[in-house]
Amino acid sequence: MVVRKRSLVFVVLLVVFGVGRCLAQGGGLSRSSFPEGFVFGTASSSYQYEGAVEEDGKGRTVWDVFAHTFGKVIDFSNADVAVDQYHRFDEDILLMKDMGMDAYRFSIAWSRIFPNGTGEVNQAGIDHYNKLINALLANGIEPYVTLYHWDLPQALEDRYDGWIDPRIIQDYADYAETCFKAFGDRVKHWMTFNEPHTFAIQGYDVGLQAPGRCSAFLRLLCRAGNSATEPYIVAHNVLLSHATVSDIYRRKYKQKQQGSLGIAFDVMWYEPMTNSSEDIDATQRAQDFQFGWFMDPLFFGDYPSSMRKRVGNRLPRFTTAEAALVKGSLDFVGVNHYTTYYAKHNSTNIIGILLNDTLADSGAMTLPFKNGKAIGDRASSIWLYIVPQGLRSLMNHIKQKYGNPVVIITENGMDDFNNPFISIKHALNDDKRIRYHNDYLLNLLASIREDGCNVQGYFAWSLLDNWEWAAGYTSRFGLYFVDYKDKLKRYPKKSVTWFKNLLKSA
């Protein structure tokens, strides 16, 4: 999921530097508007949904530790229970089926399979995911599985600092291959990672997410870290881990299991603040330091030239063999897209001087305002502005720069504030969410039908309201309302009816 990521960075920087219409039948959209075989689904992650953090042999994760650390989560909550999908998946699958969804994207908790990160397999974990996968398929819902959605086994963090150490590559590969062996006969769509850019920046640059590492000025928030180097090391190890796992899958499993493998990236779209050449160049750099950071090695064999120039020897280098392994190592591009910002050249670089971190290395400032006016209507999260046309622009960027690969929108959605003073009945009237999905889908459809972009699926974030990382339970992204005060009962919001009409319509 959702980050909510940029929200906290944005808030911190602001503090530090002072700085209802109803839409029927999808507003003209229908399932048949999209190409044959286009997949509609909902998305989730293990740590945000499952709960049962100490059941059936599961080991601790970095998020178990982080969420229980005072001051790390805005409402002082944790995901020990979350929305209890570990016990309620049968109920939730029926909700998906009733909506007419084709697929469900979920993640496997590494520490349920290997409680200590490595060593002996925990059969109870294998059994749980077998039950979940079988139940999905029995109800006509295709599983889309993410192998890593931020919940690193704490044992590996304790043993060698997790993603900072290259030993993680082999441990991750052993875990992934265990999953291919156990589930690959039924799982045909794999994502090795969810939002590597997010956990590299949030976990190792600004320290606002697990494992909470940072340096320099931000050391006030962290016990250890180096914001100038660690995010690049983490990203490098992630890319090598992905490529290693992709090579294993292609050599040993792909032909027999007939599956595909990709990564789900977090991708904002950026528009230049002005038409000046400085701002246009800064906009490209902003994209290089976000999406290109991972896509360029996967498609061209190396990091963007702007990163090489600006980061210098802090940016790791691929050997010839590593570059060959990484290049071309994915079958599809997963895109988690929520919003669009303006970008401008950072002429002062005050932030960079103070923080000495990767956020400043691009030399670009990204903001949701121009001349005091917001780029679009805002959702609840401070970082999420509603700019539907940004999705079409992003799809065309991917088509033009990377040769029109297969793309799946692996997350898209918006949140409401968890207002304790309104009734459930009022909270279910989510016309704004309906407009959001309608307008983003219209732009996605235009990118497919009019622009020829190779997009093959769309996953709404999220099926249920859930625990949103550092935002805790303050943010509701779900199509279904979860009553946290009454045994986690699920109630369909108006958007459920909208999706049901969309997916049943001709």
Catalytic residues: 195, 411
Please name the residues in contact with 144: beta carbons below 8 A apart, sequence gap of 6 or more.
Answer: 41, 103, 104, 105, 106, 189, 191, 408, 410, 459
Burial 384-405 (b: 16+ CB within 10 A, else e): bbbbbbbbbbbbbbbbeebebb
Whether the CB-CB separation of 337 and 409 falls below 8 Å is answered with: yes
d(CA 253, CA 237): 23
Question: Using alpha carbons only, what angle is made at residue 314 by residues 308 and 315, rounded to the nearest 5 degrees?
Answer: 45
Q: Checking phi first, is residue 222 left (phi over 0); if not, alpha (psi -120 to 50) or beta? A: beta
d(CA 475, CA 167): 36
Give the C-alpha distances (Å, rounded to integers) separating 350 from 346, 356, 363, 484. 9, 10, 10, 43
d(CA 171, CA 157): 12
Whether the CB-CB separation of 412 and 387 falls below 8 Å is answered with: no
Q: How many CA atoms lie within 13 A of 248 on its CB side?
A: 20
Q: How many CA atoms lie within 13 A of 102 on its CB side?
A: 14
d(CA 383, CA 27): 27
d(CA 237, CA 168): 8
- Alpha helix locations (H) across 17-107? 46-49, 62-67, 85-99
Length of the chain, in residues: 506
Nearest to 298 by CA among 341, 338, 265, 327: 327
Whether the CB-CB separation of 197 and 239 falls below 8 Å is answered with: no
Three state DSSP letters for 103-148: EEEEECCHHHHCCCCCCCCCHHHHHHHHHHHHHHHHCCCEEEEECC
Which pair of structure tokens corresponds to residue 367? 């903001």
Burial (CB < 10 A; 0-12, 13-18, 19+), residue 300, is middle
Residue 341 has φ and ψ, to the nearest 5°, of -125, 165
| Strand residue runs (E) in 309-413 | 332-336, 340-345, 364-367, 369-370, 373-374, 377-378, 385-386, 407-411
